[in-house]
């Protein structure tokens, strides 16, 4: 059972009936598996966390994952995260598996891995420390600090277009940088970056004052995110779909970014997206390697380290409530 020494948090208990049973049917199907969960958030990007370190198998289907995340019929979250056992024969601490709110499984989640580090520390009652976590994007190392912030070594960005994956052609140093992409007849300029998961970063359209470095650029507060987001997400240039970061450069050390996430839509923050934004901004010559990314949910500090090429992301992770759910 999760016990947090830091702050008491509310507890709920609920059973999720199948959709058909919640919509007018008088017979409720018998519920199946019961899980203790904790809800955490990192800058408002919220997750259901389940301690599954005793078993190798992910215990839910994609449909059950989506149902748990549903804000009307479930707990409500941008994603579902399982703490899983470490791979045998490694010095790793544990593994992470994550599901988007639509039930799809991404390779990585930056805000999620900060929440996972805090969750495991809360469950185990362990002191702040650094963890080695295996993900579908490889080894990621979050360090929970005494001040509650989590600094994550996110590894190196992947820029080779085929590995993002994107069909956009490389334009600079084997990366797809500032490429034209057609969205309903408009020319957007985008840079493709993988942080284990795919990202399409844009600073605006060609010809409408884009080009944060040399023009006014996008104004993210006025931006029609839910109109454009889905068009980028399922664009033919991104065969595995993509997360998209719409970015306004304020100065070389500070940008504002609104994100449309693959499999989750508009969220208040995206950790991998903030990392991809700074990598794209550096490749386009717009920002410095140390840059604050201001998201609707708050700021993330990003450092694309010159020494080893790794990206370090620092931000918060907070418990919201715990509960028990049957799906
Ligand atoms: N919010 C996350 C990213 C979650 C996964 C993403 N939607 C995908 O499908 O790749 C983050 O903080 O990185």
Q: Phi/psi of residue 98, each to 5°?
A: -135, 145
Residue 184 vs residues 225, 239, 240: alpha-carbon distances, Å: 15, 18, 20
Q: What angle do CA 135, 190, 181 make, to 5 degrees?
A: 115
- Nearest ligand 1 atom to the CA of 79 is 4
52 and 149 in a single domain? The answer is yes
Confidence of residue 3 (pLDDT cuts 50, 70, 90): very low
Q: Which two tokens stand for residue 171?
A: 């334009």
- 179-216: pLDDT as tens digits: 999 999 999 999 999 999 999 999 998 865 554 444 55
198 and 228 in a single domain? The answer is yes
Domain that holds residue 30: 10-155+317-326
Residue to mutate, 41, 80, 99, 100, ligand 1, most ligand atoms under 8 Å from C-beta = 100
Share of the chain above pLDDT 90, in %: 85
Q: Which two tokens stand for residue 257?
A: 């970014």
Residues with CB under 6 A from ligand 1: 45, 79, 100, 106, 109-112, 197, 243, 261-264, 267, 270-273
**CA 123 – CA 144 distance, rounded (Å):** 14
Element (H, E) at 225: helix 225-233
239 and 136 in a single domain? The answer is no
**CA 234 – CA 316 distance, rounded (Å):** 30
25, part of any domain: yes
Total domains, the chain: 2
Q: 20's torsion region: left (phi>0), alpha (psi -120 to 50) or beta?
A: alpha
Q: Which of 137, 160, 156, 162 is nearest to 240 (CA)?
A: 162
Query: Which pLDDT score, from 0 to 100, does residue 217 have?
Result: 74
115 and 16 in a single domain? The answer is yes
Q: Which of 131, 71, 53, 42 is nearest to 264 (CA)?
A: 71
Judged by DSSP in three states, 55 sits in: coil
- 226-273: pLDDT as tens digits: 999 999 999 999 999 999 999 999 999 999 999 999 999 999 999 999
121 and 201 in a single domain? The answer is no
5, part of any domain: no
ipTM over 0.95: yes
CATH number for the domain that contains residue 291: 3.10.310.10
188, part of any domain: yes
**CA 88 – CA 321 distance, rounded (Å):** 32
93 and 124 in a single domain? The answer is yes
4, part of any domain: no
Residue identifier of the C-alpha nearest atom 2 of ligand 1 = 109
């Amino acid at each position: 059972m999760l016990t947090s020494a830091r702050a008491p948090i509310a507890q709920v208990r609920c059973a999720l009936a199948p959709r058909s049973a919640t919509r007018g049917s008088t017979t409720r199907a018998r519920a199946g598996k019961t899980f203790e969960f904790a809800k955490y958030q990192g800058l408002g990007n919220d997750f259901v966390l389940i301690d599954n370190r005793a078993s190798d198998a992910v215990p839910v289907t994609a449909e059950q994952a989506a149902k748990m995340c549903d804000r009307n019929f479930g707990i409500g979250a941008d994603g579902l995260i399982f703490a899983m056992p470490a791979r045998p024969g490694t010095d790793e601490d544990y593994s992470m598996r994550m599901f988007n709110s639509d039930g799809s499984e991404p390779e990585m989640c930056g805000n999620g891995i900060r929440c996972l580090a805090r969750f495991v520390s809360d469950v185990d009652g362990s002191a702040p420390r650094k963890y080695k976590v295996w993900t579908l994007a490889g080894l990621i190392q979050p360090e929970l600090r005494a001040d509650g912030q989590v600094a994550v070594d996110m590894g190196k960005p992947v820029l080779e277009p085929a590995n993002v994956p994107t069909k956009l052609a490389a334009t600079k140093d084997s990366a797809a940088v500032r490429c034209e992409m057609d969205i309903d007849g408009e020319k957007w300029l985008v840079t493709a970056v993988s942080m284990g998961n795919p990202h399409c970063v844009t600073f605006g359209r060609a010809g409408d004052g884009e080009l944060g470095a040399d023009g006014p650029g996008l104004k993210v507060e006025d931006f029609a995110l839910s109109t454009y987001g889905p068009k980028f997400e399922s664009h033919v240039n991104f065969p595995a779909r993509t997360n998209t970061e719409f970015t306004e450069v304020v100065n070389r050390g500070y940008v504002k970014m609104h994100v449309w996430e693959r499999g989750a839509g508009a969220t208040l923050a995206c950790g991998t997206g903030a990392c991809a934004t700074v990598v794209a901004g550096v490749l386009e010559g717009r920002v410095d390697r140390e840059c604050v990314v201001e998201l609707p949910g708050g700021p993330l500090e990003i450092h694309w380290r010159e020494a080893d090429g790794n990206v370090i992301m620092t931000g918060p992770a907070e418990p919201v409530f715990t509960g028990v759910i049957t799906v």
